[in-house]
Each structure stands twice: as structure tokens, then as C-alpha cells.
């Protein structure tokens, strides 16, 4: 009898296209990383037992220890996804693009149920299609970051300095940072009880990430010198054609700006995009994440976006500068603890490398990666 694998589970759990065929290589790699992090952060006693009894990966005892928790993990995590949210974003962004006579050739925006990271990609899954692939962690961590700083921004807007909940949310922000940096999406999972006042920051962050990828789709369809929105300065045009990543960022912030013009009560919509890069800039500056080589640094991207906002709406820009100050203050009070936790986590993880690599081998076998000689 054919044992169900993760792709069958994925296909069962949503209306996404035949994932058993889709993006096999990347998806398996992602799934394996998630499994490893799950065993390290949630099931360390199993690693400890492996260390104590030293069973071989192929042995019955080893599979007895690992099989159940792994199956449990796959069943539960892969059922969760943000596909519905992605579809809503896609439709809203497409409305704006249609106003500019752009009809992008995209077959779907798909959540691939990987939780331990933030990333999206414009790729083909089957060779002839165009898709935007989004890790579930993208939406999940966006949600955590936005919800934990939103009360701060509300109090900045209302001019009051003291909030009864400030300590609580600062703590949530700290947990969210640590969770993201240690690939542990359970870190802030169930501890967030309060509902945000408005969703525009989260909306902006998610829509920015998606429309950045739509920017790549646009440039691949129309060429890097094409530009769909109102005309931009020669200097900016040069900047865009020198680096498609910057082009995609401008495409995305213009898209957000048009959504903002339609719904101008969404004051924090464009801040969502800026806040995303501000947080990443802070992580980069502390050496908590690497400065990317295939994208401009988050610091540069933050500045491009803020420059653009200053040009289109100076009052909004002033408001965002106040937000920036507030978040820097927030970070100032938590960054020592975040750093300590993350470095301690990385150090401790070193002690379990042998056991984790056994789990990796087993997971690869379970997900049938080895049969096709995939890495």
C-alpha cells in the first residue's frame, strides 16, 4: 500500500493545485528544514534518547522514536495555510493593476506550508506556468510583528505615552523576534489574545510582499524598462533598470499607494512595507541575519520606500518617522535579550548536530527524496 506523503497531505488539505507534482525539490527541502527545527525546538527529549541509546537511523527503535512525532507534525502543520488570504490579496492587487491596464500572466499565488521563514518567489512549478510561491511563515510572522507593535503606533498617533499594555506587547515583540530568528514559529503562537484595532499595517506588509513578486512578473512580461504607473524621475528609472529587485520594490509601493488612494483611512498601509524592512534592518545591524547578496540591504530598501512616501505625502511621511522612532525605542529595550536568546539557541543547537542529521536522513527517506538523488 502506498504510504501517504507530505504532498498527498497538502493536496488533501486545500484546493491548491496538485502539489504532489509541484516544486518538488524546493518544497521537500523546506519541509525537511521545518521537521529538523521541530525536533530541535519541541521534541528535544527524542534527541536526548537518540544520544543515549545511539540507534542506527535504519533501526526499528529509531523509526519508533521519530516516526510518530514526524507524522503528527506533518499532518497538523501542513493542514494550516494562508491560501484564502493570498487569494483575497491577489484580487485586490489585480483591481489596481487593471486600472492601469496591466493583466499579469500569473497562474496562482500559492502557500506552500513552510513555517520557519519569510520568503516569496516568482517561479514556475510545472515548466509552462507562472506562480508566486509564498512560505506560510511570511504571513505568520508578518502577523506577529504587526500585532505586537500596533498598540505602540496607536499610542503614538493618539499622543499618549503610557499604555497599560506596553510591557505585554514589548514582550510579544521580543518573543516574535526570537521566534523568527530561531525558526520557531510556535514561539508567539497562542499567546496573542488581543485583536488589533485596524489591519492596514498587516494588510500593507502582506500586499507589499505579494506585489513585489508581481513586480518580477511584470518585468519578466514587459521588460525591465517598462513602467506601468505614473511617470517617475529619470534617476529613479535608472535605479530600477540597474536592479530588478529595486524595480520590484517600487512596483509594489506604487501598487500600495494606489490602494491607499482608494481607501485613505488605511493610514498604516504603506507603513507595513517600511516596517518590514525596518525590522530586517535592525536584525542585519546586529548580525542576527545575513545581509543578502541577491537583494539590496534592508537598510537601502527602507530608505527607497521612505523617500518615495516623502514625495507623495509629506504628512504621512512625518507620521511614519514617528513610528520609526517608536519602534527603535522598542527594539532598544529588547535587543539585548533577543541577541542573548538567539545566540544561546544557536550554540546549544550545535550540541545536537549528529542527532539532527540522523533525523534529516530519516525525513529525506520518509519524503522519498533519496530515491531521486535529490539533495
User: Which residues lie near Zn ion (CB under 5 A)?
Assistant: 245, 248
User: Cell 491548491 maps to which residue?
Assistant: 16
268: phi then psi, degrees, rounded to nearest 5 = -100, 10
What would the DSSP string read from start to end of 118-167?
Answer: --EEEE-SSSS--EEEE-HHHHHHHHHHHHHHHHHHHHHHHT----TTHH
* Cell representation of residue 138: 511570511
Smaller CB separation from Zn ion, 68 or 292: 292
**Could you tell me the smallest distance in angstroms from the CB atom of residue 245 to Zn ion?**
5
Nearer to Zn ion, 202 or 248 (CB): 248
Q: β-strands 120-123, 108-111: how paired?
A: unpaired
> What residues pair up with 110 in beta bridges, in sequence order?
133
Closest to Zn ion by CB, 209 or 270: 209
Nearest residue (CB) to Zn ion, 245 versus 324? 245
Phi-psi region at 101: left, alpha or beta (left = phi > 0; alpha = psi -120 to 50): left
Residue 122 φ then ψ, to 5°: -100, 110
Ordered alpha helix ranges (H), the chain: 6-13, 24-41, 44-53, 60-79, 83-99, 136-158, 166-181, 200-222, 234-242, 244-262, 269-285, 298-312, 314-350, 353-366
Nearer to Zn ion, 219 or 366 (CB): 219
Nearer to Zn ion, 62 or 250 (CB): 250
d(CA 211, CA 94): 9
Helix axis angle, 166-181 relative to 269-285, nearest 10°?
60
C-alpha cell at 82: 494562508
Minimum distance between the CB of residue 246 and Zn ion, rounded to whole angstroms? Answer: 9
- CA distance readout (Å), 200 to 63, 85, 158, 257, 296: 47, 14, 17, 12, 26
Q: In the beta sheet, which residues pair with residue 133?
A: 110, 121
Identity of the residue, 77 or 133, whose beta carbon is nearer to Zn ion in the bound complex: 133
Closer by beta carbon to Zn ion, 46 or else 217: 217
Supply the minimum distance, in Å, between the C-beta of residue 109 and Zn ion.
14
Least distance to Zn ion, CB of residue 179, Å: 24
For Zn ion, the closer of residues 10 and 209 by Cβ is: 209
| Nearest approach, Cβ of residue 216 and Zn ion (Å) | 6
Q: In angstroms, what is the minimal distance from the CB of 108 to Zn ion?
A: 18
Least distance to Zn ion, CB of residue 136, Å: 19
> What size, in residues, is the chain?
375
Q: How far is 138 from 114, CA to CA, in rounded Å?
A: 9
Amino acid at each position: 500500500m502506498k504510504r501517504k506523503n507530505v504532498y498527498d497531505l497538502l493536496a488533501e488539505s486545500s484546493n491548491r493545485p496538485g502539489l504532489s507534482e509541484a516544486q518538488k525539490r524546493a518544497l521537500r527541502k523546506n519541509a525537511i528544514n521545518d521537521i529538523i527545527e521541530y525536533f530541535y525546538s519541541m521534541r528535544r527529549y527524542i534527541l536526548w534518547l537518540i544520544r543515549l541509546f545511539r540507534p542506527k537511523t535504519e533501526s526499528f527503535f529509531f523509526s519508533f522514536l521519530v516516526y510518530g512525532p514526524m507524522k503528527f507534525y506533518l499532518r497538523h502543520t501542513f493542514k494550516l495555510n494562508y491560501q484564502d488570504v493570498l487569494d483575497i490579496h491577489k484580487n485586490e492587487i489585480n483591481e489596481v493593476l487593471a486600472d492601469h491596464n496591466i493583466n499579469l500572466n500569473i497562474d496562482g499565488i500559492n502557500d506552500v506550508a513552510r513555517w520557519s521563514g519569510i520568503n516569496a518567489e516568482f517561479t514556475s512549478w510545472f515548466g509552462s506556468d507562472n506562480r508566486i510561491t509564498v512560505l506560510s511563515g511570511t504571513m505568520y510572522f508578518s502577523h506577529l510583528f504587526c500585532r505586537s507593535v500596533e498598540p505602540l503606533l496607536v499610542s503614538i498617533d493618539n499622543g499618549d505615552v503610557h499604555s497599560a499594555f506596553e510591557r505585554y506587547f514589548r514582550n510579544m515583540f521580543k518573543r516574535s523576534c526570537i521566534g523568527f530568528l530561531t525558526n520557531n514559529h510556535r514561539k508567539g503562537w497562542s499567546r496573542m489574545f488581543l485583536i488589533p484595532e485596524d489591519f492596514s499595517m498587516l494588510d500593507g506588509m502582506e500586499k507589499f510582499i505579494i506585489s513585489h513578486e508581481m513586480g518580477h512578473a511584470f518585468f519578466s512580461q514587459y521588460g525591465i524598462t517598462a513602467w506601468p504607473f505614473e511617470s517617475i524621475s529619470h534617476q529613479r528609472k535608472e535605479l530600477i533598470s540597474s536592479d530588478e529587485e529595486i524595480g520590484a520594490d517600487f512596483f509594489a509601493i506604487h501598487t500600495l499607494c494606489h490602494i491607499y488612494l482608494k481607501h485613505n483611512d488605511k493610514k498604516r498601509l504603506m507603513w507595513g512595507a517600511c516596517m518590514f524592512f525596518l525590522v530586517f534592518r535592525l536584525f542585519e545591524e546586529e548580525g542576527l541575519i545575513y545581509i543578502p547578496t541577491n537583494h539590496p540591504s534592508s537598510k537601502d530598501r527602507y530608505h527607497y520606500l521612505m523617500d518615495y512616501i516623502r514625495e507623495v505625502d509629506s504628512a504621512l511621511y512625518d507620521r511614519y518617522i514617528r513610528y520609526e522612532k517608536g519602534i527603535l525605542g522598542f527594539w532598544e529595550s529588547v535587543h539585548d535579550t533577543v541577541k542573548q536568546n538567539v545566540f544561546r539557541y544557536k550554540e546549544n543547537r550545535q550540541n545536537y548536530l549528529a542527532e539532527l542529521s540522523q533525523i534529516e536522513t530519516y525525513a529525506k527517506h520518509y519524503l522519498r527524496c533519496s530515491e531521486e538523488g535529490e539533495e
